[in-house]
Structure 1
Amino acid sequence: MPVTRRRVLYIPGYDPFHPRRYRELYRKEGAAQAEVSGYSLSQRKGAGPYSWIVDSKMEGAEVETEVEVLVWSDIVATSMSRSIPATYRQLARTAWAYIGSGALFRLMRLRKGPVIAALYPIVFLLVQLAVALGLGWGAGTLAATGVRALPMGVDLLVTGWVVGLILGGGVTWAVLAWFKGQDSKVFAYYLMHDYAFSARWNGANPPELEARMAAFGEVIAAALASDVDEVLVVGHSSGAHLAVSVLADLIRAGRVPEGKCAFLSLGHVVPMVSFLPDANRLRADLHVMGGQALIPWVDVTAPGDGCAFALCDPVAVTGVAPAQQRWPLVISAAFTKTLSPERWAELKRRYFRLHFQYLCAFDRPGDYDYFRITAGPQTLGERFAGRAPSPSRLTEPVNRHRAMAA
């Protein structure tokens, strides 16, 4: 029987922006994909403040889908320190968490792109600090030299250095503040906050996030108890590993009916967390999700996305695959094939935009079409039944830390 009613519960990544961003992105990109692919999509207001309803006509059927964003942007915003010194403290703590634990060197055996993305804010912030200190030292030295050269009958040596320190410190701070003001163009502070969020707890979840994930579980459980034909959980970027944990909890609690729930992970960065020493909870959840038979799990990444661990099986590379691993089905969105050469040339150096391409239109769509998956008449399991995993996927367990929570 085709799907006529669906609930999509979307868990975003580490994103401080209002969830209306995702509603407008769906409206705009859905219209573009419908025009390319020849189906019909219309969007109207949903019942909740962070939801919308999509009416579609495609593949010979009419489907009503309610999409809801499960919000944790307030937790993200709170974690993003506005202080320059606090950010540099985060830098030191994050570098030590990944280097001291050996996680960074293990991650480098996977895809280089996300490791470079992780190192980028560290290097960029250190360069900013070096430039600021250099300019501050130059300004302070000039000021001290100028004061000592004044023709006055007092000891100007100490006075010169005091003036130099004050002016040099002021210039250093002003340069750092200027760099921070330009971060919307370079994203160094933003990425630093992102990686520091997991590093601070060495891969464990902070209490406020655990509470929010429990609330997400209740929303998903209520959807599963309703009369919709499919409940599709979508986790993007950091939201993918949150979804893994939420769904694993529901399975353990016996709250997932057979044949009703599906999971789509997009652009995951799971190893950035699961390779840390205290990620015992996430590793146990990956183990559960890898072997369970209740929730079809399709994982979509693309080598062109430098911010994701493209084609890395998150269960296998973490080293916690069960003896009979079923999931995820790892496939590629193949940006270089599903985007025209002109569109690819336009986007290929816009790294953060490409990280959101999974939620956007393709002008040469393949078997991955976000809008067919979320608003079409087939369940996720049916749509990809019999689909072979990508031959380029990585499955070698390279993680050093494999302890799992009981």
Structure 2
Amino acid sequence: MFRRESRLTAARRGLDIAVGDAVRAADGLSLDWTIDSAGTRTRYGLLRWDDIVRARFPRPDWRRLAAVPALLRRLRRSGYERRLRREARSFALVIFGVHYLYLLFVALSLGAGCLLPLLLPAALRPWSLVAVPVAAYAILAALMAITRGRPFYCAHLVDDTAFTHDHAAGREPRMPPRLDALAARIRAAEGTADEIVVIGHSSSSFLGIELLDRVLAADPGFGTRGTPVSFVTLGSVIPWIALDAPASGMRAALARVAAAGHIGWLDVRAPWDWLSIHLRDPLTASDVPSPGKGRPATIYVRLEDLIEARLIRRRRWNLFRMHFQLLMSSRDRQGFDYLAFVTGPEPVHATIERLGTAQAGFAPGMAVRIEA
């Protein structure tokens, strides 16, 4: 996707962007490539955790049958569902909607399974009762397979939610070592480049917080010795995990990274993206005190700047496609373009400083859209 979209950005903006071949790191931690554009070379590393996703998605239906009602009951009793709906109406509608849709599928499957004896001869009906659970389970499995993709993404979103809350409670043991290893690599990169930028899209927005917190815990002076460090979140879902009661470690990490003013932070928001949380800044929305205006700096991106009206009509309800639109080329030469942003000649830290300084002067409650 990066290679394809960079060609589009280069053509639209009259740039020369050369993307090197992607190479898997020897330790398997990342997929790495280089980009050359306008005399600037960018080394781009993508943290790999697709193996963790494959190990957890999709889960067997028998596990969902037990886990989904228990999770929904816990989130409702703790007040999490109410708080998330307050901070992210569209996001909560999607997330809780697919869970209640799953429960509806369970009820429909059980009902259809109970009809099975009525279709058989009277002599076989007593024996057919033992087949009801098997038939209902098979129907449920078929429904989940049918709704796995768009527009529902039911199995994926239900399993993704389970991963997020397990990670919040420290019950996902495979992710912390991955973040520890990448944190060590980022620390070692200080002094080897003009700047270091950590980028988190979607769930990687909260993983990026944990990653930087690990770096700062090991080296509080990181980012103060001449190599600027920046953090960029796109399509952020930080409150999704931070509002959960067991996520005390995440909230503490969020507060520490927010307080590290020498690390720039830019939050790129898309109000049209139903799979992101964008009504307020991620700190306030997570019940974490904000250090002040301009932290993080913010860019609001219009969908009309990214794709043509005919494509909007076609893709609007393809929620995952819309969620990834922020990482793609922009049709508007003056609007935000992710490829131009990460490969362009202006350092990311300079962009963040410029935006943060401008936004710090605005009064609270003012709606601000800044082009980049």
Judge same fold: TM > 0.5, yes or no.
yes
- Whichever of the two has the greater Rg, that structure is 1
Give the 3-state SS of the residue equivalent to 2:20 in structure 1: strand
Instruction: Give the conservation status (yes or no) of the 8 Å contact 2:205–2:234.
Output: yes
1:195 to 137, 151, 161: 161
**Residue 18 (structure 2) pairs with residue 42 (structure 1):** yes
Distance 2:323 2:166 in 1: 24
2:35 to 54, 77, 90: 54
Distance 2:132 2:19 in 1: 56
Residue 303 of structure 1: CA displacement?
Answer: 0.8
Instruction: Give the conservation status (yes or no) of the 8 Å contact 1:94–1:200.
Output: no
> 2:247 corresponds to which residue?
279
Instruction: Give the conservation status (yes or no) of the 8 Å contact 1:248–1:288.
Output: yes
User: After superposition, what is the alpha-carbon deviation per residue over 1:225-280, rounded to whole angstroms, capped at 9, x for unaligned?
Assistant: 42x11111110111011111111222232252334211111101111110011111
Equivalent positions of 1:58-77 (< 5 A) are: 62-77=39-54
Q: For structure 1, which segment, 319-328 or 211-220, has the greater mean C-alpha deviation from structure 2 after superposition?
A: 319-328
The residue identity in structure 1 corresponding to 2:4 is K
> 2:71 corresponds to which residue?
94
Distance 2:131 2:343 in 1: 61
Indicate how the Cα distance of structure 1 residues 92 and 225 shifts in structure 2: closer, same or farther if over 3 A, else same.
farther
**Residue 135 (structure 2) pairs with residue 171 (structure 1):** yes
TM-score, normalising length: structure 1: 0.80
User: After superposition, what is the alpha-carbon deviation per residue over 1:137-164, rounded to whole angstroms, capped at 9, x for unaligned?
Assistant: 1122222xx233xxxxxxxxxx53222x
Give the 3-state SS of the residue equivalent to 2:237 in structure 1: coil
Indicate how the Cα distance of structure 1 residues 112 and 365 shifts in structure 2: closer, same or farther if over 3 A, else same.
farther
Give the 3-state SS of the residue equivalent to 1:265 in structure 2: strand
Distance 1:384 1:270 in 2: 19
2:345 to 352, 368, 377: 377
Residue 365 of structure 1: CA displacement?
Answer: 4.5
> 2:28 corresponds to which residue?
none
1:161 to 118, 123, 126: 126
Residue 330 of structure 1: CA displacement?
Answer: 2.2
Instruction: Give the conservation status (yes or no) of the 8 Å contact 1:235–1:264.
Output: yes
Instruction: Give the conservation status (yes or no) of the 8 Å contact 2:32–2:44.
Output: yes
State the number of aligned residues.
Answer: 351
Instruction: Give the conservation status (yes or no) of the 8 Å contact 1:93–1:196.
Output: no
Equivalent positions of 1:70-149 (< 5 A) are: 70-143=47-120, 146-148=121-123
Indicate how the Cα distance of structure 1 residues 47 and 336 shifts in structure 2: closer, same or farther if over 3 A, else same.
closer
Give the 3-state SS of the residue equivalent to 2:33 in structure 1: strand
User: After superposition, what is the alpha-carbon deviation per residue over 1:77-130, rounded to whole angstroms, capped at 9, x for unaligned?
Assistant: 222353111022221232123212101101111221110121122122112112
> 2:262 corresponds to which residue?
294
- Which 5+ residue runs of structure 2 have no aligned equivalent? 26-30, 360-364
Residue 367 of structure 1: CA displacement?
Answer: 4.2
Distance 1:32 1:97 in 2: 46
The residue identity in structure 2 corresponding to 1:179 is L
> 2:210 corresponds to which residue?
245
Instruction: Give the conservation status (yes or no) of the 8 Å contact 2:315–2:321.
Output: yes
The residue identity in structure 2 corresponding to 1:34 is A
The residue identity in structure 2 corresponding to 1:230 is E
Residue 46 of structure 1: CA displacement?
Answer: 4.9
**Residue 11 (structure 2) pairs with residue 28 (structure 1):** no
Q: For structure 1, which segment, 98-107 or 166-175, has the greater mean C-alpha deviation from structure 2 after superposition?
A: 166-175
Instruction: Give the conservation status (yes or no) of the 8 Å contact 1:107–1:272.
Output: yes
The residue identity in structure 2 corresponding to 1:373 is F
Distance 2:134 2:22 in 1: 52
Distance 1:282 1:290 in 2: 12
TM-score, normalising length: structure 2: 0.87
User: After superposition, what is the alpha-carbon deviation per residue over 1:349-393, rounded to whole angstroms, capped at 9, x for unaligned?
Assistant: 111101101110111254422112211111112124332459448
- Which 5+ residue runs of structure 1 have no aligned equivalent? 1-24, 149-158, 394-406
RMSD: 2.2
Indicate how the Cα distance of structure 1 residues 78 and 93 shifts in structure 2: closer, same or farther if over 3 A, else same.
farther
Residue 348 of structure 1: CA displacement?
Answer: 1.4
The residue identity in structure 2 corresponding to 1:168 is V
Indicate how the Cα distance of structure 1 residues 205 and 360 shifts in structure 2: closer, same or farther if over 3 A, else same.
farther
Indicate how the Cα distance of structure 1 residues 365 and 115 shifts in structure 2: closer, same or farther if over 3 A, else same.
farther
User: After superposition, what is the alpha-carbon deviation per residue over 1:313-359, rounded to whole angstroms, capped at 9, x for unaligned?
Assistant: 11122222255565211221221344332232222111110110111
Distance 1:314 1:322 in 2: 9
